[in-house]
């Protein structure tokens, strides 16, 4: 293209963008009940902003448009709600108008590499959903998974403590949280045959999830390569436990899940893709929230001291100061409010780290009540997102909303009416396991180690912490610049825990 042609096309393009901007503003002012986000480039501009930095983009839209607005995309609209009324209306879904399969389909396609239509996703939910619910929402299932995870994590941290000896060492915080949770929870769910050398590829795939949304080969090549290696490892695992008619050498949940998958007409690779998508749902957000819990408590000396004192007191009074007795206790026998300050700190961490709910698709035209006298008409085929991040940071929902208050949920003050795990029929199935995993992780770290936050060079981090990574999906991600320094506790009780008799 020569410069003469460019001189002709450039003014035309600028005129077109100006016309689009004026038209978008005109549309948004005419549709005051449910405003449209202004986008200069048709179908692309606003959607691109949403994909690149979802939280900051939607937080700005919340300030400009209020509790509900829509983003035009090529196939229709994305309706976004961030008011309590709007989110409750979607969660209740009294007319059964919203299908969560749209979000599942995207996760299955991008993470697992399985391209399924909505009917296929529905069958996936129908066949595998009950298996997952029995494992993660019933006491029988939790009593099998939770103690195994606790004891595997105990062994993992015992080895780490012994490796430290009398020295101290710094670790990347997110990597250490990931190794602790991913490896030990995977063994608790899938058994000792599960390959723990998949961790690095799993973390790389999760960190580059946004790149998979943009179908440009060179842009997403490394994430695709990591996914392919993960799929090969998972297929090898399945072959090692599947005899041709049943599963041998795997825990009950893994046995039921693999048996259900073998009952479908999916290829071995697609079966591995569904397992990978399940693993991503089980681990990715839990790892991030765990990282933020450590960041918040370790940067607040008073909060950390009070939570640690609570842990020590309860372990001493209820478990004879024997952490193994606590870990081996069945989930059904542990009171849910046994560690009230730690529970509150986890809820507060969730409040500040959760960004979005699962994506839904409108199955029919429906109206959503998203505020006093405000109703939005969502058309059939439109997508629906709930902006949990802005809701949880609304001063009308809870005071001092931008700051971490470890005792917010036990202090008697107003707290959010909605759960960070969503609501309604599509509430997160793994919520009970996730919270327990995080609590056990923090309890064991406080028993084994003296801890402090440091930067990449080992300098202490106190007040000015690197901001979180908000270019994410459902939960923001801790900055990779944050590290944690560990030193084995010198007390006699810790040495007896680590070394044994």
Read off the pLDDT of each residue in 74-86 and give the average, rounded to a whole number. Answer: 85
Instruction: Report the SS3 class of residue 250.
Output: coil
Is the pLDDT reported for residue 26 higher than 60?
no
pLDDT-derived band of residue 32, with 50, 70 and 90 as boundaries? very low
Residue 57 CA to residue 60 CA, distance in Å, equals 5
Read off the pLDDT of each residue in 310-336 and give the average, rounded to a whole number. Answer: 94
Residue 187 CA to residue 252 CA, distance in Å, equals 12
Range list of β-strands (E), 159-205? 168-172
Inter-residue contact 280 to 234 (CB < 8 Å): no
Q: Which two tokens stand for residue 472?
A: 């994410």
H or E stretch covering 98: strand 98-99
Lowest mean pLDDT among 36-45, 88-97, 113-122: 36-45
Residue 81 CA to residue 68 CA, distance in Å, equals 4
Is the pLDDT reported for residue 5 higher than 70?
no
Nearest to 206 by CA among 287, 92, 100: 287
Q: What is the pLDDT of residues 209-231, one digit of tens each?
A: 878 877 777 888 999 999 999 99
428 known member of a binding site? yes
Is the pLDDT reported for residue 10 higher than 60?
no
Which residue carries 């300098």 as its tokens? 459
State residue 47's pLDDT score: 60
pTM: predicted TM-score of the whole model, two decimal places: 0.89
State residue 340's pLDDT score: 96
Inter-residue contact 43 to 72 (CB < 8 Å): yes
Beta-bridged to residue 367, according to DSSP, are 377
Is the pLDDT reported for residue 33 higher than 60?
no
Is the pLDDT reported for residue 4 higher than 70?
no
Instruction: Report the SS3 class of residue 207.
Output: helix
Lowest mean pLDDT among 67-76, 158-167, 308-317, 327-336: 67-76
Domain 83-499: CATH superfamily is: Cytochrome P450 (1.10.630.10)
Is the pLDDT reported for residue 185 higher than 50?
yes
Q: What is the pLDDT of residues 386-437, one digit of tens each?
A: 999 999 999 999 999 999 999 999 988 888 988 988 887 778 889 999 999 9
State residue 463's pLDDT score: 66
Read off the pLDDT of each residue in 164-187 and give the average, rounded to a whole number. Answer: 95
Lowest mean pLDDT among 105-119, 151-165, 407-421: 105-119
State residue 54's pLDDT score: 72
Is the pLDDT reported for residue 292 higher than 80?
yes
Q: What is the pLDDT of residues 330-349, one digit of tens each?
A: 999 988 889 999 999 999 99
Is the pLDDT reported for residue 500 higher than 50?
no
CA 4 from chain center: how many Å? 51
Is the pLDDT reported for residue 277 higher than 90?
yes
Q: What is the pLDDT of residues 244-263, one digit of tens each?
A: 889 999 999 999 999 999 98
Residue 384 CA to residue 96 CA, distance in Å, equals 14
């Amino acid at each position: 293209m020569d410069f003469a042609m460019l001189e002709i096309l450039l003014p035309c393009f600028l005129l077109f963008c100006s016309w689009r901007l004026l038209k978008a503003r005109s549309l948004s002012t005419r549709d005051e009940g449910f405003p449209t986000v202004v986008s200069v480039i048709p179908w692309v501009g606003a959607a691109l902003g949403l994909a690149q930095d979802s939280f900051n983009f939607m937080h700005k839209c919340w300030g400009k448009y209020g509790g509900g607005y829509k983003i035009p995309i090529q196939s229709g609209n994305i309706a976004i709600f961030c008011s309590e009324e709007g989110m409750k209306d979607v969660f209740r879904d009294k007319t059964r108008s919203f299908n969560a399969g749209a979000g599942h389909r995207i996760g299955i396609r991008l993470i697992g590499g399985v391209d399924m239509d909505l009917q296929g996703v529905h069958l996936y939910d129908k066949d595998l959903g009950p298996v997952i619910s029995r494992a993660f929402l019933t006491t029988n299932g939790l009593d099998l998974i939770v103690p195994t995870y606790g004891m595997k994590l105990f062994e993992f941290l015992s080895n780490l403590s012994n490796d430290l000896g009398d020295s101290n060492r710094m670790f990347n915080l997110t990597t250490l949280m990931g190794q602790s949770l991913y490896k030990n929870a995977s063994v608790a769910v899938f058994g000792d045959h599960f390959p723990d050398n998949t961790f690095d590829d799993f973390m790389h795939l999760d960190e580059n999830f946004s790149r998979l949304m943009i179908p440009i080969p060179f842009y997403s090549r490394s994430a695709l390569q990591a996914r392919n290696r993960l799929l090969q490892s998972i297929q090898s695992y399945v072959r090692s436990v599947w005899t041709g008619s049943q599963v041998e050498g795997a825990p009950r949940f893994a046995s039921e899940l693999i048996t259900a998958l073998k009952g479908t007409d999916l290829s071995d690779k697609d079966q591995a893709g569904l397992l990978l998508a399940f693993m991503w749902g089980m681990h990715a957000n839990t790892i991030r929230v765990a990282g933020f819990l450590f960041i918040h408590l370790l940067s607040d000396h008073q909060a950390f001291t009070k939570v640690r004192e609570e842990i020590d007191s309860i372990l001493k009074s209820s478990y004879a100061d024997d952490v193994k007795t606590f870990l081996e206790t069945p989930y059904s026998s542990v009171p849910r409010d046994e560690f009230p300050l730690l529970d509150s700190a986890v809820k507060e961490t969730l409040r500040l780290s959760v960004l979005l709910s699962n994506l839904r698709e409108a199955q029919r035209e429906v109206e959503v009540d998203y505020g006093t006298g405000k109703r939005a008409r969502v058309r059939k085929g439109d997508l629906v997102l709930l902006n949990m991040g802005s809701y949880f940071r609304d001063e009308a929902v809870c005071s001092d909303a931008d700051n971490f208050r470890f005792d917010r949920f036990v202090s008697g003050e107003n707290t959010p009416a909605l759960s960070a795990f969503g609501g309604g029929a599509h509430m997160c199935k793994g919520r009970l396991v996730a919270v327990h995993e995080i609590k056990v992780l923090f309890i064991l770290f406080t028993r084994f180690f003296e801890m402090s936050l440091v930067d990449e060079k080992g300098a202490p981090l106190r007040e000015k912490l690197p901001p979180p990574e908000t270019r994410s999906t459902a939960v923001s991600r801790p900055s990779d610049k944050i590290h944690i320094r560990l030193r084995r506790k010198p007390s006699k009780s810790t040495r007896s825990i680590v070394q044994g008799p």
